[in-house]
Amino acid sequence: MGAIRGTLLNTATVLAGATIGLAASQALPESYERLALAAVGLGTLALGFRMFGSSKNPLVPIGSLIFGGLLGHLLGIQSAIEQLAAWAQSTIGRGGRVEEAFVTTSILFCVGPMTLLGCLEDGLEGKIHLLGIKSILDGISSVFFAAALGWGVYLSAGTVLIIQGGLTLGARALRPLTERPMTLDESTAVGGCILLAIGLGLLGVVQIPSADFLPALFLAGGAGWVLEGRQRALEQPPPRPWADE
């Protein structure tokens, strides 16, 4: 377990923050609930715009969303999360905006360069400096999201454990990703688009099945890897067979 101690710390801070947020939501007057929800919606939109700005080629995230959304719909991702929310409501009496809470915080906590670099630092050097900073930020964020959106934030702790734990354990194989920043940039841009969709829903503008777009994160990363490889190949000077003559 020591090999993923940074991930374990991050998971614990998310759980702690969500618990504090849920407790705080019980103490707040109901009149503040709509205000808190609007604040989280606006903040989610702002984060989405910022993350989308990392794209080097907007066609990559757009195309990834089209095909990734189709794949996610075929896999029934949105439907599965909605069924989980219905089960929680009927079985344990917990409501809240489960899909928005889970998808928003999972993307916020797991998508971006800090996640990969922190996991590589933990896996290759045994240091958790970056993941320690990230844990504090994620813990604080989970307080506000849980207070506004409910218990679905707890689910993102599982996402952090699985994603970051896998990245840390596979650090040696994943080291080449640090040399292909476009891979992370395009995946981050797709995450921003999904956050924009969620933010619009939280503000009551339009409801979009945002969870179905999750496969687009991987499609965008793969497309970014290929495009950057081609770009580097084109930038290399052509061979000069007469140079040795």
AA identity, residue 119: C
The number of helix segments (H) and strand segments (E) in the chain equals 11, 0
* Domain annotation covers residue 188: yes
pLDDT on residue 175: 86
CA distance 232 to 238: 12
pTM metric for this prediction: 0.84
Q: Write down the residue that tokens 């734990």 correspond to.
A: 165
Range of the domain at 73: 2-228
- SS3 at position 205: coil
Structure tokens that stand for 46 in this block: 């702002």
* Domain annotation covers residue 245: no
* Domain annotation covers residue 123: yes
Number of domains in the chain: 1
CA distance 1 to 9: 11
* Domain annotation covers residue 241: no
* Domain annotation covers residue 244: no
- Per-residue pLDDT tens digits of the chain, which is 245 residues long: 557 889 999 999 999 999 999 998 888 777 777 888 889 889 999 999 999 999 989 999 999 999 999 999 999 999 988 887 777 667 665 666 788 888 899 999 998 888 988 999 999 888 899 999 999 999 999 999 998 888 889 989 999 999 999 999 998 888 888 778 888 899 999 999 999 999 999 898 998 999 999 999 999 999 999 988 887 777 776 666 655 55
